[in-house]
Amino acid sequence: MSTVSAGFRLVRAGWVLVREGVVAALPGEELSGLPKFGWRLARLFTRRRALAYERSDRLAKAVVRLGPSYVKLGQFLATRPDVVGNDMALDLAMLQDKMHTFPRAEAIAAIEASLGRKVADLYAQFGDPVAAASIAQVHAADTIHDGVATKMAVKVIRPGVRRRFFQDLESYFLAARLQEKYIPSSRRLRPVEVTETLAQTTKIEMDLRLEAAALSELGENTKDDPGFRVPSVDWERTGRDVLTMEWVDGVKMNDIAGLEAAGHDLKAIAANLIQSFLRHTLRDGFFHADMHPGNLFVEANGTIVAVDLGIAGRLGKKERRFLAEILYGFITRDYLRVAEVHFEAGYVPRQHNVAAFAQAIRAIGEPIHGQPAETISMAKLLTLLFEVTELFDMATRPELILLQKTMVVVEGVARTLDPAFNMWKTAEPVVGGWIAGNLGPRGMMIDARDGAKALLTLARQVPELAARTDRLSREIDLMAEHGLRFDETTARAIGKAEARYSRSGRLALWVIALTLVYIAWKII
């Protein structure tokens, strides 16, 4: 039954996308066969007034009609240009995460249920909502510390958003399974795995304790950094459904006129933003992955304050080295080294030729050296790089895609502040400093120390590994002698699962088909 309801919700979503002209805005002329017929049919059912809007506006209107969970889906897919394409990813990245507020009484009920205390005991004053997004909204409040009132920001989960999201998630999984089953060319994009990543990401974002932990971690990492910080967390007043943090007084970074009126140096802010982001990425391997200008404030002294850390990115040591060497290789035009880094990291399969891959990278790097530095986009370079790596069977790397998306946004904000922004000159001190500290003699000593620790850990596990090897050897001998066998219960469970999957898939397809026929009949 859940598959049937998921099928109905999926049909409704498709119908809204058709009526709002989102499907008609896709490049359907490049299609052929049944997909092109479906695209032409979608154009017939599109609202006439929708055809007058730009594609991004059509998408925004459709998402508003579909609800908060589709806002999150759109924002997530904006991080996956490998799945939806670069143009659609840019449109999705422009989606405004602004929703209607919910009543103050519901927010109070959510806080009291989450913290087990009365709001009057937690806050000296609890105000009306000042901003609302798809998952939560923010209230202004006061707390008393040592007899002094302190203004705080209180983020509260939207009532019912978890139930609504997980209902829609069933539809997303159904669409992903159908796509994998009936569109073989899409399997390399792993739609089911992408949907599982979306589910996990949103589960984390809907637990405000985890956002508080991310703020705390980023705060510790940046406590000595010049010109950048995040709000402090009030852990006593923070739970799964509520996050209380320091109130930030500053000018939003999307208010250019306000920044100029406050006397800020926009060029210095742009440089500080890029260097802070690269510092977090390379030095810490932990970065704010939703750094659009609405989440960035500038205080009176020029310090950048980043809020809303529901989405964060992590890079391991290997990925950080990969990123730094790629950027430095393009700066020095050492394309062979850039290619070797891809192979050393295991991103490109060994059956490909390093020299051929270096030639493809040269095709990206050489054109940028004939341009003024301020016109060269690092984000665009990474986008082209990932497009080339697809030709050499580089598997999708979610952590690098998220980094690419965030870099596109951050670089875009910097260029809004300073149209003549020189990305390479600004980035070189951070990237070059990291390479000198981590790939030189000091870095080699650190690698040797880490290797020694790994060997010591392995040595401690030798007895256990020997016992496991012995058990595995005996089990393999038994399998070779008697074959691989399932017990009766396992075989019966596998049969039932396969039958249930086949029935539910067929039923969902019939429901979708009948619904489309009904919609067409009503319109005609």
Residues carrying an active site annotation: 290
Torsion angle (degrees, nearest 10) of CA 495, 498, 499, 504: 160
208 in Cβ contact with 120 (< 8 Å): no
Q: How far is CA 202 from the centre of its chain?
A: 10
Amino acid (1-letter code) at residue 59: L
Q: What angle do CA 270, 211, 105 make, to 5 degrees?
A: 110
Number of H helices, E strands in the chain: 21, 10
User: What residues have CB less than 8 Å from 42, skipping those under 6 apart?
Assistant: 18, 23, 24
Q: How far apart are CA 321 and CA 50, in angstroms?
A: 47
Query: 243 pairs with which residues across the strands?
Result: 155
Q: How far apart are CA 463 and CA 372, in angstroms?
A: 61
Q: Nearest Cα to 338, choosing from 349, 346, 327?
A: 327
Q: How far apart are CA 47 and CA 68, in angstroms?
A: 23
278 in Cβ contact with 419 (< 8 Å): no
**What is the number of other CB atoms lying within 10 angstroms of the CB of residue 306?**
25
Q: How far apart are CA 481 and CA 427, in angstroms?
A: 62
The pair of three-digit structure tokens given for residue 174, joined into one six-digit string: 């159904």
Whole-number Cα distances in Å, 438 to 345, 432, 519: 16, 10, 61
Q: Beta strands 136-145 and 125-132: pairing type?
A: antiparallel
Q: Nearest Cα to 286, choosing from 328, 317, 253, 327?
A: 317
Query: 156 pairs with which residues across the strands?
Result: 137, 242
Q: What is the DSSP string of 271-324?
A: HHHHHHHHHIIIIISEEES---GGGEEE-TTS-EEE---SSEEE--HHHHHHHH
Query: 148 pairs with which residues across the strands?
Result: 145
154 in Cβ contact with 233 (< 8 Å): no
Q: How far apart are CA 430 and CA 378, in angstroms?
A: 14
User: What residues have CB less than 8 Å from 253, skipping those under 6 apart?
Assistant: 259, 269, 273, 293, 294, 296, 297, 298, 304, 413, 417
